[in-house]
Amino acid sequence: MFHFFKKYSQPLFEGLCDFHNHLLPGIDDGSKTVGMSLNMLEAYQKLGFKSVIPTPHVYQELYPNTPETIQKAFQELSAVKHPENAPSIPSYGAEYMVDETFIKNLESGVPSLLLCKKYILVEIHFFGGTQLLEQACFELSQKGILPILAHPERYQSLETVAQYQALKQKGFYLQLNALSLLGHYGPQVKQKAEKILQAGLYDFVATDAHHPNHLKTLQTLRLSKKQGLMWEGIREFQLNRF
């Protein structure tokens, strides 16, 4: 019964853009120093990524970043010599926490830290509900912005395939954290990630790397043949957009 052990053996991240990570130094719970960011770039290169768009947290309660604080960290990292053949860092975005502040700011304008000028990366509290997400989705669509929900497998209030389908119908793109498939966030998250992948509901994949070890761990990721087929679909979709 050798077919049970068949693995998907293509390079998983070759040529991709990692548009969700915490590479920029010193402004959230990600990289602490420029040196650590350079170590991350080295690890990115080993995984085969073509480019990296850093997305620091914008979360009023914990990481009240602004376009200015993020630009400053971006310039700090841009000013030093990067490892040979490291992926490019063409621009930066943010990972917006959808809370009351986010909704309030949406009423008065368009968030400026977008990806490819049209996507916005959003997250919600891990243990909270999804009401604000629905409100945000409506406001964002009015402004012509396309929301990408970061790591949908990690939220306690989201569990069933029907819930994920409903989010997609509302206009959300779903982004898998690749580390979820390795059980990095626990067995339940792993199970949900496998279920969403199998249902063909993920649109994008990213690392959400906070430090070099996250990226080194990803070198151990192996997929079954069935998962590999779904992964191919995500890769193709992403390569055409980022």
Dump strand ranges (E) for the chain.
Answer: 7-8, 17-18, 51-52, 57-58, 95-97, 119-123, 146-150, 173-177, 204-206, 223-224
Q: How far is the CB of 8 from Fe ion (least distance, A)?
A: 26
Tell me which residue of 113, 223, 238 sits closest to 178, measured CA to CA: 223
Q: How far is the CB of 31 from Fe ion (least distance, A)?
A: 12
Residue, CB closest to Fe ion: 208
Nearer to Fe ion, 4 or 127 (CB): 127
Tell me which residue of 60, 137, 68 sits closest to 102, measured CA to CA: 60
Pairing mode of beta strands 7-8, 223-224? antiparallel
Q: How far is the CB of 84 from Fe ion (least distance, A)?
A: 27
Q: How far is the CB of 3 from Fe ion (least distance, A)?
A: 36
Q: How far is the CB of 211 from Fe ion (least distance, A)?
A: 12
Nearer to Fe ion, 130 or 177 (CB): 177
Residue with tokens 């304008």: 109
Binding residues for Fe ion, rule: CB under 5 A, are 95, 208
Rounded CA-CA distance 242/204 in Å is 10
Nearer to Fe ion, 216 or 224 (CB): 216
Nearer to Fe ion, 179 or 196 (CB): 179
Nearer to Fe ion, 153 or 208 (CB): 208
Sign of torsion over alpha carbons 192, 60, 92, 72: negative
